[in-house]
Structure 1
Amino acid sequence: MTHEKSTTSAPAPLWRRAVAEFLGAGLLVTVVVGSGIAAQRLSPDDVGLQLLENSLATALGLTVLILIFQPVSGAHLNPVVTLADRFLGTRHAPSEIVVYLVAQVTGGIGGAILANLMFQAPTAVSTTDRLSAGHLLGEVVATAGLVLLIFALARTGRSALVAPA
């Protein structure tokens, strides 16, 4: 009789996964908001350069956060990813999903506040109307592309590529 070492381990307790999602979502929002503030200050007269600076910082920050938190919680970091994970295969209990969603939303709010504190920017609820059909379509397409990429890599055994992708 041979004893093979299992390549899968038991999932982390729910409280650890919730903390990972809270920190991951919070730090991701901190990176996005903070790099946006920094880009505006570094390149005040070049919106194209601001977008490049912000997107590069966001991509690199997201990669690091996925690498850190993927082993603990799966590094969903986004309520849409958590809901897609539930509907496309993983059978988390509804209570686990609620815990993930609350952790992600509260982490994101905390991350925005943290970024503003770091850059000594005022924290307020935005009153700028950014809702348009084009913005909504862009968000849907980008989110669908993200979810498709994550699940395609995970289902084909290449989940290690999620972070760099």
Structure 2
Amino acid sequence: MTHSARTILIPDDTSTPHVVTLPRRLVAEGLGTALLLAVVVGSAIMGDRLAGGNAAIALLVNSIASGCGLVVLILTFGAVSGAHLNPVVTLAEVWQRNLPAGLALPYVGAQVIGAFAGVAVAHLMFGEPVFAAATQARTGAGLWWSEGVATFGLIATIIGCARTRPAVTPYAAALCIVAGYWFTASSSFANPALTLARAATGTCAGIRLADVPGYVLAQLCGAAAAVFVASWLYPRAARPVTTGAVEPSPADRVAA
């Protein structure tokens, strides 16, 4: 049976492979990223409103909700698209040749569109305007360095776990993000699509559009360094593993 580059084999509960098309993969990436942003922005708004000015409690609420949501989303969409939900994860997968280069742009496009949709969903839940220009200033060398460190940690975690214990990848990636909320000065965005979409929220979760390029550049640099270092630390096994937080399976076979 011949499969095009637009399809991927996924085993179902009966171990009988079925075909997942490119549109399904893109919907999974878009929907997953939308839900991720709804969780991140929504929990930030809820935490801010309930904390009564206590920034530590608001951050705790935001970090726990974001980490829990990320685990659920990776487990939900991982078997369809890999559940990247993040352009730097997609680019890292392309760099490692786990994903055809031709899928990078469609994946990133779906993630960006989904991210903006997720901001709108969160705003509508809390009575905010659908979109509003962010005024929260987030700039400076310390924050840029923080984003590089946070993204390095996330990508290194994904690669290390995917090549050694793939079943724990969803939990490890989420825990890395939760920790990043607290140990980085930037609160660990570590995601260019999320960063860009958060320029469209005037809530405490926002980032000024003018500050987005510095964050994104730092994220790309951190991701590139992580792929280089983690790939050296964990040489590729005979059978490559995708980032989708599922056990190695026929899903990893994408026809050229």
Q: TM-score, normalised by structure 2?
A: 0.59
Decide which moves more: 48-57 or 80-89.
80-89
C-alpha RMSD of matched pairs (Å): 1.7
Note closer, same or farther for the CA distance 1:107–1:73 as it changes in structure 2 (3 Å cut): same
Runs of 4+ aligned structure 1 residues displaced above 3 Å come to: 6-11
1:136 Cα offset (Å)? 1.3
1:90 Cα offset (Å)? 1.3
Q: Which residue in 1 is equivalent to 2:108?
A: 101
- The structure in which a higher percent of residues are helix is 1
CA distance in 1 between counterparts of 2:55 and 2:73 reads 26
Q: Which residue in 2 is equivalent to 1:56?
A: 64
1:93 Cα offset (Å)? 3.4
1:91 Cα offset (Å)? 4.0
CA distance in 2 between counterparts of 1:64 and 1:145 reads 20
Q: Please show how residues 78-97 of structure 1 align to structure 2 within 5 Å.
A: 78-94=86-102, 96-97=103-104
Q: Which residue in 1 is equivalent to 2:147?
A: 139
1:128 Cα offset (Å)? 3.0
CA distance in 2 between counterparts of 1:91 and 1:66 reads 17
Residue 12 of structure 1 aligns to a residue in which SS?
strand
1:144 Cα offset (Å)? 1.1
1:126 Cα offset (Å)? 1.1
CA distance in 2 between counterparts of 1:132 and 1:113 reads 28
1:9 Cα offset (Å)? 4.7
1:10 Cα offset (Å)? 6.4
CA distance in 2 between counterparts of 1:8 and 1:97 reads 28
Deviations 1:28-70 (A, max 9, x none): 0110000000000110221001111100000000000000010
Is residue 155 of structure 1 aligned with residue 163 of structure 2?
A: yes
CA distance in 2 between counterparts of 1:25 and 1:8 reads 28
Is residue 42 of structure 1 aligned with residue 39 of structure 2?
A: no
Q: Which residue in 1 is equivalent to 2:79?
A: 71
- The residue type equivalent to 1:119 in the other structure is F
Decide which moves more: 136-145 or 10-19.
10-19
Asked if the contact 1:11/1:72 (under 8 Å) is kept, the reply is no
Q: Please show how residues 115-134 of structure 1 align to structure 2 within 5 Å.
A: 115-122=122-129, 123-134=131-142
1:13 Cα offset (Å)? 1.0
Segments of 5+ residues of structure 1 without an aligned counterpart are 1-5
CA distance in 1 between counterparts of 2:18 and 2:149 reads 34
The count of corresponding residues between Structure 1 and Structure 2 is 158
CA distance in 2 between counterparts of 1:153 and 1:59 reads 17
Residue 27 of structure 2 aligns to a residue in which SS?
helix
1:138 Cα offset (Å)? 1.1
CA distance in 2 between counterparts of 1:161 and 1:17 reads 22
Note closer, same or farther for the CA distance 1:145–1:80 as it changes in structure 2 (3 Å cut): same
Q: Which residue in 2 is equivalent to 1:3?
A: none
CA distance in 2 between counterparts of 1:129 and 1:24 reads 27
- The residue type equivalent to 1:162 in the other structure is T
